[in-house]
């Protein structure tokens, strides 16, 4: 493993994406500020903005750091470096995960702290929020996996559309689950078996998707 080249490729992506990531994080914090205002209108606006920021951030990272490298003919330059497809895949996964996970974790923790504060239904929204935000992480892992394996804008856009359609259906289904609905209308966080299982499954799916990307890319002998 050429750790030096892997590190340099990770730092390259961080250098070029540091501005957008800061902007997305600021947008997410602005969304939480809207939610904190307490009115029904600000809560709705903040929720929509927060979901939009997290979804757009994932799309931006996958498209710019992976797909665009091939469409902009940056990949031929990388082919000249002393790096294997396995090392290139490792760099891409680690760079993208760190770029996404840091703002995702920051906004997730901030949201959970906000919903656990006094006057926020005593934490009733915490399970629902945790499930939805973890689902966004799984959707991003799907998008990143398709982008890395296919290196195709068309397939990546298709994966993006499928993930977003699934999210809409998932939100509808989740809102109509009796235990979730009762918890959101009541006081205090209700961590039942279904809530915990959903989060565990979402995390496992995220790991499996990234593992699949690594395995498939590692079998390649070149970047063509």
pLDDT digits (tens, 9 = 90+) for 81-116: 667 777 888 888 999 999 999 999 999 999 999 888
Task: Please measure the distance between the N-terminal and C-terminal CA atoms of the chain and give it in whole angstroms.
Answer: 20
Quick one: which of 180, 182, 217, 214 has its CA closest to 199? 180
Place of tokens 């709705």: 44
| pTM listed for this prediction | 0.89
Average pLDDT over residues 67-78: 66
Higher pLDDT, 51 or 1: 51
pLDDT bucket at 208, cuts 50 / 70 / 90: very high
CB distance 133 to 189 below 8 Å: no
Neighbouring C-alpha atoms within 13 Å toward the C-beta of 58: 29
State the chain's mean pLDDT as an integer: 86
The angle that helices 126-150 and 193-218 make with each other, rounded to 10 degrees, is: 10
Task: Output the furthest CA–CA distance in the chain (Å, rounded).
Answer: 60
């Amino acid at each position: 493993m050429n750790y030096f080249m892997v590190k340099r490729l990770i730092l390259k992506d961080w250098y070029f994406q540091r501005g957008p990531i800061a902007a997305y994080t600021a947008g997410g914090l602005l969304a939480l500020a809207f939610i904190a205002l307490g009115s029904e209108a600000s809560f709705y606006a903040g929720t929509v903005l927060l979901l939009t920021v997290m979804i757009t951030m994932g799309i931006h990272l996958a498209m710019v750091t992976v797909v665009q490298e091939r469409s902009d003919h940056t990949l031929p330059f990388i082919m000249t470096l002393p790096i294997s497809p396995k090392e290139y895949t490792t760099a891409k996964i680690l760079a993208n995960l760190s770029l996404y996970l840091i703002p995702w974790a920051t906004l997730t923790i901030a949201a959970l702290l906000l919903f656990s504060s006094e006057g926020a239904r005593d934490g009733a929204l915490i399970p629902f929020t945790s499930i939805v935000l973890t689902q966004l992480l799984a959707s991003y892992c799907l998008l990143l996996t398709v982008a890395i394996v296919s290196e195709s804008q068309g397939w990546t856009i298709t994966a993006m559309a499928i993930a977003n359609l699934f999210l809409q259906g998932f939100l509808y289904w989740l809102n109509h689950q009796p235990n979730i609905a009762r918890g959101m209308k009541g006081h205090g966080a209700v961590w039942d078996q279904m809530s915990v299982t959903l989060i565990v499954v979402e995390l496992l799916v995220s790991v499996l998707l990234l593992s699949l990307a690594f395995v498939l890319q590692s079998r390649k002998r070149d970047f063509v």
